[in-house]
Amino acid sequence: MINKSKFIVFEGIDGAGKTTQINLLAAALSKHNIACSVTAEPTTLPSGKLLRQALAGEIPTTAMEMAEMFARDRVNHNVDKEQGIEKQLSDGITVISDRYYYSSLAYQGAELGFDAVSALNLENPDIRTPDLCVFLDLTPEKSLERIGARVDVPREIYENYEYLEKTRKMFFDVFERLKQRGEKIVIIDASGSVDDIAARIFDAVIQIF
Ligand code: TYD
* pLDDT, tens only, 129-179: 999 999 999 998 888 888 776 666 666 656 678 878 888 999 999 999 999
The amino acid present at 87, given as its one-letter code, is K
Could you tell me if 136 and 10 are in contact, meaning their C-beta atoms sit under 8 angstroms apart?
Answer: yes
| Closest to 8 (Cα-Cα) out of 33, 25, 32, 31 | 25
User: Using CA positions, which residue lies closest to atom 4 of ligand 1?
Assistant: 14
Distance 93 CA to ligand 1 centre (A): 24
How many Å lie between the centroid of ligand 1 and the Cα of residue 11? 9
Of 55, 65, 78, 127, the residue with max ligand 1 atoms within 8 A of its CB, to mutate for a pocket test, comes to: 55
pTM: 0.92
Rounded distance from Cα 33 to ligand 1 centre (Å): 30
What number of CA atoms fall less than 13 Å from residue 56's CA on the CB side? 10
**Alpha carbon nearest to ligand 1 atom 17, residue:** 103
**Closest atom of ligand 1 to CA, residue 107:** 19
Nearest CA to ligand 1 atom 9: 42
- Does 175 sit in the ligand 1 pocket, CB within 6 Å? no
Separation of CA 23 and ligand 1 centre (Å):
18
pLDDT value at residue 206 = 96
Q: How far apart are CA 42 and CA 100, in angstroms?
A: 9
Which residues, 6+ apart, have CB-to-CB distance to 151 below 8 Å? none
CA atoms within 13 A on the CB side of 54: 19
End-to-end CA, the chain: 7
Instruction: Please give the sequence-ordered ranges of beta strands (E in DSSP) within the chain, or none if there are none.
Output: 7-12, 36-40, 94-98, 132-137, 185-189
Phi, psi of 36 (to 5 degrees): -140, 160
Q: If DSSP codes are grouped into helix, strand and coil, which group holds residue 135?
A: strand
Give the length of the chain.
209
- CB of 103 closer than 6 A to ligand 1? yes
Q: What is the pLDDT of residues 79-123, one digit of tens each?
A: 999 999 999 999 999 999 999 999 999 989 989 999 999 999 999
Phi-psi region of 26 (alpha: psi -120 to 50; beta: other; left: phi over 0): alpha
128 pLDDT above the threshold of 90: yes
User: How is residue 35 annotated by DSSP?
Assistant: -
Using only the alpha carbons of the chain, give its radius of gyration. Answer: 16
